[in-house]
Amino acid sequence: MATLVLTVVGSAIGGPIGGAIGAALGQRIDNALFAPKSREGARLKELDVQISSYGSQLPAHFGTMRVAGTVIWATDLVERRAKSGGGKGRPSTVNFTYSVSMAVALSSRPIVRVGRIWADGNLLRGAAGDLKVETQLRIYTGHEDQAPDPLMASAEGPENCPAHRGIAYALFEDLQLADFGNRIPSLTFELFERDSDVPVAEIFHVATGGAVTGESAQTMRGFALAGSTARAPLALLEESFSMECRVRGGVLCISDAPILPVPADPIISVHSENNVAFEKPRQTIEPASRLPHIMTLRYYDRERDFQTSLQRSARGRFSAIERSIELPAVLDAAVAKQLVENRLLDMQSRRHIWRGDIIENGAQFCCGDHFVDETGGIWQIIEIERRFGSTQITARASVKHSDQIESTASPGRLVSSPDVSVGETRIVVVELPAAGLTDPGKPGIAVFAAGTSAGWRRAALSLGNAGAQTDIGSTAQPATIGTTIDPLPPHVPHLIDEGSSLRVQMLNISMDIANRSGSPLDEDAPIVWLSGEFIRYGNCEDLGHGIYRFSRLLRGCFGLDDSIVPHPASAPFVLISPESARLIDERTFGTGDDVQVEALGLGDVSPAKASARIKAHAITPIAPVHGALRWTADGGLLARWVRRSRIDNGWKDGVDQVMAEEREHYRVMLFVDDSPIGEWIVDTPQFSLGSSQSLEMALAEAGHIRAEIRQLGRFAQSAPLVLFLP
């Protein structure tokens, strides 16, 4: 735009020559205004997605870094099928899981160890070395005694499998991909080439094969050395860390830039040589508009889990140029801030250039040396041209660097992936009552599992069968499991227990139960399982530290009156939730069968075991209630009761409960002094014995008379309703 405008203006004023001058001036303005931001040094690539391209470069890492690595070997995805459910007309479910084995090269230098590993940004391996996902991990540090990996050797053949000596790599065997959408995740590794900081001078020495020597007090946390040659990254290091290079005895030496004042030799200017006059020493200043007024430094921040961070420095408003440096180094925020401040100060101060001819007087100046001119200014030599008796030098102004770290630099806030241990697995086998409006037709068995730490996610399950264990897949979502702190006395089943309360210590403090204040008769009242008894609670209070108090209890739910027993302290507790229940459909169990289940999680040394003896709650009718036994006016006997159903369709006034059995049948037994005297089958909720039958059985003269009524079902009969004759 400026080129076009100034060309027209110049042509109007000065003709063609003026137009050319205007065009040149406009082009310079356009370049200054619209030029893209310049970039220095190598790109920050250590956190890119790992690649597997042939010929891709593997950087040499120093210190502590977070790297993505390069896949150097991998298998195809391995598919596994697991069938669950089925039988008795129920459809079976086939679950597919996938895994992969692969090797990821991390560094072209030997390392000490690997710390944390991230997969898609979430921790796959914690700082303590605990794996969060099911896999086997082997780390090869890249030393000269490194042996081939046995899995790679078996897959490729020993003669085709190198040991990859000199290359540090990680091998995953059977990495389960269910947590990553059945795809290979993007991995990054916390790499330790050493446990201390890295001297900057060491990187120069190693990268050049010893061609560059020197000493430096400056260090960094880590550095990635990559590129077709060592020149670009080393030049970036030299400028970023304000270092100086000198040639001594034909060897390039580096050192830290001194903090002024520095020892500097005075010079003597020469004005002629062999009757040839020289110009006087002169100073030039590069226009400030050509220099950046904003400098940014991008680096890896150790305090932010090695994520890319940025520090910025601004000085004045004399140009529109911004410059960015991408330094593949791990730094603290304060150090990075100091580097970018010094770098911008260097660029703006060293635009002062000194040129002149001097007499060395045996001083033998070299590039990098400092001298004091006739006005007292301190300069650093950047070019030398020697003649017979004089020397022409070009120097730039020496810059005073600060040795104080900027205290206001901040790395920013880190939202890190939580590193919590997996813990050990705990499981509880619970026999469930019938749920919903359908007859299950078989006992319902569920496994509830959780871990002793918040990092637990799942465990592999196996079911005991004839002395052997059969794999049945994995657990459901983590359950809410605990143990009681207080004993719980028994209570009548059909009244709310207002006097007792129950304190429970959860398995780990991350388990959360919502506070509640209400009635156990509410439709949404939660259900807990306590050592075989199902209880609804109305109130729940969080006492802190993973302890909860439950009160307003409705005991013996689902008609399981005989489960109301005294519960001691340390009794197992489970909050019943469909999401955390792993139903066992692989086998059909009958009354009296023992269910043996084992679970093995990532943090388990040995399997967690649990068992239960089947009582067939889901298919056993519930005992009748509200019974009465009395004499009739004519001397007969009459018993009445109310039927209950094992299938609950809710509380509906004027509507009877659903008939869960094929038909309504009851077995009535009469006892006199504990001796049975008769048994009858009736199909209505009442039983009558006429006066003639009563007289024939001599019931009027009998002792204690009682009746037991059992509801008959398709698979079993209920517990008895016991009635006594007044």
Distance CA 544, CA 420 (A): 20
> Is pLDDT above 60 for 630?
yes
Query: What is the per-residue pLDDT for 362?
Result: 59
Distance CA 303, CA 332 (A): 7
pLDDT-derived band at 46 (thresholds 50, 70, 90) equals: low
Beta strand 547-554 pairing with 497-506: antiparallel
Q: How does pLDDT run across 274-284, given as a tens digit for each residue?
A: 666 777 788 88
What kind and span of H or E run contains 202?
Answer: helix 200-207
Across the beta sheet with 675-682, the strand order is 675-682, 666-672, 705-711, 721-724
Distance CA 156, CA 74 (A): 11
Query: What is the per-residue pLDDT for 452?
Result: 94
Greater model confidence, 12 or 186: 186
pLDDT-derived band at 291 (thresholds 50, 70, 90) equals: confident
Paired strand residues for 82: 95
**Mean pLDDT score of the chain:** 83
For residue 692, give the DSSP letter. H
Q: Diameter of the chain by CA atoms? A: 160
Positive or negative torsion for Cα 206, 212, 213, 215: negative
Query: What is the per-residue pLDDT for 315?
Result: 77
Q: Say which residue the tokens 């201390």 belong to.
A: 196
Average pLDDT for 604-627 = 91
Q: How does pLDDT run across 632-647, given as a tens digit for each residue?
A: 988 889 999 999 888 8
Distance CA 130, CA 123 (A): 10
pLDDT-derived band at 687 (thresholds 50, 70, 90) equals: very high
Distance CA 109, CA 358 (A): 48
pLDDT-derived band at 416 (thresholds 50, 70, 90) equals: confident
Greater model confidence, 502 or 252: 502
For the chain, the 3-state helix, strand and coil shares in percent, each to the nearest 5, are: 15, 40, 45
Of the candidates 579, 455, 524, which has an alpha carbon nearest to the alpha carbon of residue 130? 455
CA trace torsion 349, 355, 361, 363 (10° rounding):
40
> Is pLDDT above 80 for 106?
yes
pLDDT-derived band at 262 (thresholds 50, 70, 90) equals: low
Of the candidates 437, 541, 529, which has an alpha carbon nearest to the alpha carbon of residue 481? 529
For residue 488, give the DSSP letter. B
Task: Look at phi and psi of residue 18 and say left if phi exceeds 0, alpha if psi is from -120 to 50, else beta.
Answer: alpha
Average pLDDT for 381-410 = 73
| Helices 231-240 and 200-207, axial angle in degrees (round to 10) | 160
Q: Say which residue the tokens 């911008």 belong to.
A: 344
Average pLDDT for 255-276 = 66
- For residue 609, CA distances in Å to 84, 258, 595 come to 20, 69, 11
Burial 185-197 (b: 16+ CB within 10 A, else e): bebbbbbbbeeee
Average pLDDT for 670-676 = 90
Query: What is the per-residue pLDDT for 554?
Result: 95
Tokens of 213: 């020597």
Q: Say which residue the tokens 């009748």 belong to.
A: 624
Structural domains for the chain: 2-35 (no CATH), 69-185 (no CATH), 256-397 (no CATH), 425-615 (no CATH), 625-724 (2.60.40.10)
Query: What is the per-residue pLDDT for 282?
Result: 85
Distance CA 349, CA 336 (A): 20
Greater model confidence, 235 or 174: 174
Positive or negative torsion for Cα 297, 300, 301, 302: negative
Beta strand 187-192 pairing with 60-67: antiparallel
Greater model confidence, 415 or 157: 157
| Helices 333-349 and 231-240, axial angle in degrees (round to 10) | 90
- Residue 150: which residues within 8 A CB-CB, separation 6 or more? none
- For the chain, how big is the Rg over CA atoms in Å? 43
- Residue 16: which residues within 8 A CB-CB, separation 6 or more? none
Average pLDDT for 655-667 = 82
Task: Decide if 357 contacts 385 (C-beta within 8 A).
Answer: no
Distance CA 32, CA 26 (A): 10
Q: How does pLDDT run across 480-528, given as a tens digit for each residue?
A: 999 999 999 999 988 999 999 999 999 999 999 999 999 999 988 999 9
Of the candidates 718, 699, 555, which has an alpha carbon nearest to the alpha carbon of residue 624? 718
Task: Decide if 134 contacts 141 (C-beta within 8 A).
Answer: no
Helical H segments across 419-466, by residue range: none
Upper half-sphere CA count for residue 389 (Cβ side, 13 Å): 10
